[in-house]
Structure 1
Amino acid sequence: MRDYVAELRALVGSRPLILPGTSVVAVDERDRLLLLRRRDTGGWGLPGGLMEPGESFEDTGRRELWEETGLRAGELVLLDVFAGPEYFYRYPNGDQVHNVTAAYLARVSASDRLVLQETEACGAAFFAAREVPAGVIAPERPIVARYRRIAEGERPWPTWSSSTTACAARPR
């Protein structure tokens, strides 16, 4: 199948598009966040990407996490849906998007081997909430900020089941 967004871009050029996608807030056993160094902008970002026709948000998250990192997610837990003017982004090539992003929490293992998709990422690292670098790309800053509020105790932290990667909200 030809790239859906490329087909749209051939029709509309770099004009703004509303594009649904998924970001995966992948955390390891020490609750550190996985960030990827993006090749296109040089900034840090979450694994994730745009939805393909016929996919669910969860399907998109699983596919993108696998394609970009070689990691598999168990159950995904919806963190929130992010949209609005602060999610507008202009890529270095001039393409403009209004992102509608479903962000999911997923447990991954830091000991699993990361296999980066070199066309999209040139590096990856796990960061504690207080060590998240300043260079997170604009549309993902609110998602990372939400993770930080959870990790720093300002919002309820999910408890992870010992038998699966599922999590449920823990009452405070």
Structure 2
Amino acid sequence: MTDYIGDLRKLIGTRPIIMCGANVILLNDQGQILLHHRIDRDWWGLPGGAMELGESFEQTAKREVLEEVGLICRDLKLFNVYSGEKLYYKYPDGNEVYNVTATYICKDFSGEIVVDPSEGRDARFFPLDKIPSNLSSSIEEIVEEFLSKYLAGS
């Protein structure tokens, strides 16, 4: 797999770019949500990441979940697509992005949680009423919308 974003950064430096990617709301049989504790900041987020050349959003979502937390997603259902000012993010290294993120819900997955230590400190399921307060700024809106719809029964 190529490193599209890395190759692009060699050309343009840290300037803001539009970065397409996907993340996944994984729900276990108890209705708990999987969150991934990132190493670049003390934030919890959804497993996911940037799209590589030639990938679909679904392929990106499945690959990123497998790479970051070791789980294999079988059935993905599109939840929503997010973009705009709220999805601006500046990485600790100074790279700036405006994310375009396809978020999926997955209840059909297999495997054991194994966190890639180059990307995360931890990954675990949380009850929906016990989600950590230190969520990644780029997923706060996503989690809030999910909780409002899920808890409302839609």
The amino acid across from 1:40 in the alignment is D
Question: What SS is found at the alignment partner of 2:53?
Answer: coil
Which residue does the alignment assign to 1:143?
Answer: 142
Structure 2 distance, partners of 1:118, 1:51, is: 20
Question: Which of the pair has more CA radius of gyration?
Answer: 1
Instruction: Please report how far the alpha carbon of residue 113 of structure 1 lies from its aligned counterpart in structure 2 after TM superposition.
Output: 1.6
Misfit runs of 4+, over 2 Å: none
CA contact (8 A) 1:35 1:127 kept: yes
Distance 1:142 1:23 in 2: 13
Compare the two structures and name the one with the higher strand fraction: 2
- 3-state SS in 2 of match to 1:130: coil
* Aligned-pair CA distance for 1:150: 2.6
8 Å Cα contact 2:33-2:127 kept in structure 1: yes
Equivalent residue letter for 1:55: E
Which residue pairs with 1:121 in the alignment? Answer: 120
| Deviation digits for residues 72-92 of structure 1 (CA, Å, limit 9, x no counterpart) | 111100000000100000011
- SS of the counterpart of 1:131? coil
**Aligned partners of 2:6, 2:36: CA distance in 1, in Å?**
23
Unaligned runs of 5+ in 2: none
Quote the residue 2:104 is aligned against.
Answer: 104
- TM-score by length of structure 1 reads 0.85
Distance 1:112 1:75 in 2: 14
Q: Distance in 1 between matches of 2:31 and 2:51?
A: 27
Could you say what the CA RMSD is over the residues aligned between the two structures, in angstroms?
Answer: 1.4
- Structure 2: distance between partners of 1:137 and 1:108: 25
TM-score, normalization by structure 2: 0.95
Equivalent-residue separation in structure 2 for 1:78 and 1:7 (angstroms)? 29
Q: Give the letter aligned to residue 26 of structure 1.
A: L
CA drift of 1:112 comes to: 4.2
Aligned length: 154
Distance in 1 separating the partners of 2:124 and 2:63: 20
How far the C-alpha of 1:151 sits from its partner, in A, is 2.9
Task: Give the 5 Å matches for 1:65-80.
Answer: 65-80=65-80
Check whether the contact 2:69–2:114 (CA below 8 A) recurs between aligned residues: yes
Q: State the SS of the aligned residue for 1:42.
A: coil
Aligned counterparts, 1:35-54, within 5 A? 35-54=35-54
Offset of residue 107 of structure 1? 1.0
The answer for unaligned runs of 5 or more in structure 1 is 157-172
